[in-house]
A = this chain, B = another copy of it.
Amino acid sequence: MTSGQPLGGGREPTLTIAEVAERTGLSHDTLRYYEKAGLIARVGRTTGNQRRYEAADLAWLEFLLRLRETGMSIADMQRFARLRAAGDATVADRLAMLREHRAELAVRMRALRRSAGSLDDKIRHYEGLLGGSERPGTGEPA
């Protein structure tokens, strides 16, 4: 029996774990960890048991990265992934989760803008102390 075939027939193009790591910026280990944790469903394998990711896997991973970037915990992503796997009946629950997460994000972004303002104030304060001889871009006095 030949091995290394991309599943039962080799229909659409698939990606190795190295290719997915490259495209997502995640490490091989993290990709396997996410799968083990149930964030992504078990990925298809070659007859030799090596992962072959499909376009849909990549799209889902990229959405997970949006959730991660906006501060969602692994535990919450697991919840979301479980709902998703359970099918259409959970759409309302998923929507509720996303709305809640989005609202928390809005709060954090407001806090972040306030803090960024404090930073700017402090930066201006230090610039004042240095007598305005400092410009961004060059560390050299004129």
Contact = CB atoms under 8 A, between A and B. Distances in A.
A45 interface: no
Contacts of A10: none
Contacts of A118: 63, 66
B123 A95 contact: yes
Contacts of A120: 102
Most buried by B among A115, A120, A127, A134: A115
A98 B92 CA distance: 44
Interface residues of A, number: 35
A92 B136 contact: no
A116 B113 CA distance: 15
Contact of A115 (B66, B94, B112, B113): B66
Interface in A47-81: 63, 66-67, 69-70
Contacts of A119: 66-67, 70, 98, 101-102, 105
